[in-house]
A and B are shown apart, each in its own frame.
Chain A
Amino acid sequence: KQEVTQIPAALSVPEGENLVLNCSFTDSAIYNLQWFRQDPGKGLTSLLLIQSSQREQTSGRLNASLDKSSGRSTLYIAASQPGDSATYLCAVILNDMRFGAGTRLTVKP
């Protein structure tokens, strides 16, 4: 059974810092991996999707990488801003979608 782990559970950084969020999964036989953002009381917003044949995807200040062989993905956020404060979840997809518990990010002005 696929297990998805996100470390750390919470992270607080000053504005302007570059940061990395980690996602690990136990079964490397995945179709793709997706990173989401969740604001308090809201649903999930898709950030980046990495197909299993890809190594990384970029959108603005966000860069997500995927290493299937090691069962790891990272989400890199450059020049963090207070508006980036949210919970970030990764999900791996094979025949269904399995989520990590998320990393709660706080960016302090």
Chain B
Amino acid sequence: EAQVTQNPRYLITVTGKKLTVTCSQNMNHEYMSWYRQDPGLGLRQIYYSMNVEVTDKGDVPEGYKVSRKEKRNFPLILESPSPNQTSLYFCASSLSGTGVSLPLHFGNGTRLTVT
């Protein structure tokens, strides 16, 4: 089954403790992206990747890192999480690496709480 898989689904952590949220897709998609969703603000893009070893900042990249060493995986790293990073995070992928092609496939989300 074609899908985008995020782990974990729920995560509670403390300020400053490094964490990684994994994202994997099995559709051979070139484009992958991370979003955070906050009430009243919609989805905001954190980072995106057009292809392996190519990553770019989205609208809200501060406090996050990503890597794209393999086509299928695009982990989101929070080196020193802070409470303002408490949010619902989504990973997404699409076929084309030349900009965003559709449809965009979303994972089921990771709800992160930083205390």
Contacts and interface: CB of A to CB of B under 8 A. Distances in A.
Contact of B42 (A41, A42, A93, A100): A100
A93 B35 CA distance: 15
Interface in A89-107: 89, 91, 93, 95-102
Nearest to B6: A43
A89 B43 contact: yes
B109 A42 contact: yes
B7 interface: no
A64 interface: no
Given A96-B48, A99-B42, A42 B108 contact: yes
A21 interface: no
A31 B99 contact: yes
Nearest to B4: A43
Given A41-B109, A42-B109, A101-B42, A34 B104 contact: yes
Interface in B22-44: 33, 35, 40-44
Contacts, number: 57
Given A41-B109, A43-B90, A43-B107, A102 B42 contact: yes
Contacts of A95: 99-100
A34 B42 contact: no
Interface in B64-102: 90, 92, 99-100, 102
Contact of B109 (A43, A49, A91): A43
